[in-house]
Amino acid sequence: MHFITESLLVGNINDAAEPPPQISAVLLVAAEFTVRPPSWLLFGRIPFSEYAEAEPVLLDQAVSWVEQHLSDNRVMVCCRAGMGRSVSVVMAYLCCVQGMTYAEVLKLVMTRRPGAMPLPKLEEAIAQVRLLREARTTKRNSPASHPAPGV
């Protein structure tokens, strides 16, 4: 288990199965594993394939899950080893929600999680997630999504 920020961590499959008490939410991003989380834990699973490029739609779902749960919880994102997929999701969250640049996030993660190996073409996938998020925001704020009274 490695702290990337005070409230956002990466962990491995063992951490997901038996999270420490200071963790209140776990997102498992390993397609090849399932765990039975403790009843007290907020738990999500979004399956990413190991060593594959991050699918922007899945990455977007993972970023949204972390965003939804991080304000009230200490969140740990877990994969098999806590080095690739989990790191990639955390990097995407920091870029897309916290507004950090990819270079800043990469430096932070490599310092806090020695041996981290972001997924191939992650920077491009993060750019796609940003576009998906912007499109949702634009759609929510468009006049068509807010009909005039009496319509």
* Helices and strands counted in the chain (H then E): 5, 5
More confident residue, 9 or 138: 9
Give the tens place of pLDDT for each residue, 51-100. 899 999 999 999 999 999 998 899 999 999 999 999 999 999 999 999 99
Residue 139: its pLDDT value, please? 80
Backbone angles phi and psi of 126, in degrees to 5: -65, -40
Residue 147: its pLDDT value, please? 58
For residue 2, count other CB atoms closer than 10 A to its CB. Answer: 20
pTM for this entry: 0.90
